[in-house]
Structure 1
């Protein structure tokens, strides 16, 4: 199968299927936490998707509430499946930090 044939087939997949494939491919290219930044004065210094104010804990909490990746990509159109892979990798590497941020946010609300 040629690259063009694969590309054609991929373009005809649903958004959810595309997101899953991209996530699986990106896992092979990503390192834990890559694309995640912590900037003092931005979102309270929480870990965020680089170049955004979207906190990793927010994405993790959304996932815990049952929101799937395809919906996250629709809700946040300026992030990519690779950003989600990086967020999940960061969350896996820093579970206590993410859990504490979720708890703190829920206490404020």
Structure 2
């Protein structure tokens, strides 16, 4: 995809979608992801919901198994819909990292 093609697609987005793109780009420039933390010796240093021990990869794997966001919010009452949205954005921006975490944590 060329920059010109991307520009056309970005301009076609709704205002809310444009805000999400701006947030994603701003977060991707630094290591500070809103609502996501990585701390050595906490959840193996994996990306997790801030102030929790719920790794992003766990949520994504549950989603792949058919759990809806509503199911996850019931299963993890300490997190919010905003936490899930942050997790989905992080996972989308770091697919290789999340896939590796899933593979490392799979039960044989």
The unaligned stretches of length 5 or more in structure 2 are 1-15, 25-32
In structure 2, distance between residues paired with 1:78 and 1:44: 20
TM-score by length of 1: 0.70
The unaligned stretches of length 5 or more in structure 1 are 1-24
In structure 2, distance between residues paired with 1:67 and 1:31: 26
Q: 2:23 aligns with which of 12, 26, 31?
A: 31
TM-score by length of 2: 0.70
1:28-107 mapped onto 2 (5 Å cutoff): 28=19, 31-32=23-24, 33-106=33-106
How large is the Cα RMSD of the aligned pairs?
A: 2.0
Detail structure 1 runs of 4+ shifted over 2 Å in the superposition: 27-33
- By relative contact order (CA 8 Å, sep 6+), the higher-ranking structure is 1
In structure 1, distance between residues paired with 2:62 and 2:54: 12
What's the CA shift string for 1:38-91, capped at 9, x where partnerless?
Answer: 001100000000000000000000000000000000000010000000000000
In structure 1, distance between residues paired with 2:84 and 2:19: 14
In structure 1, distance between residues paired with 2:94 and 2:57: 10
Matched residue of 2:66: which SS? coil
What is the total number of aligned residue pairs between the two structures? 83
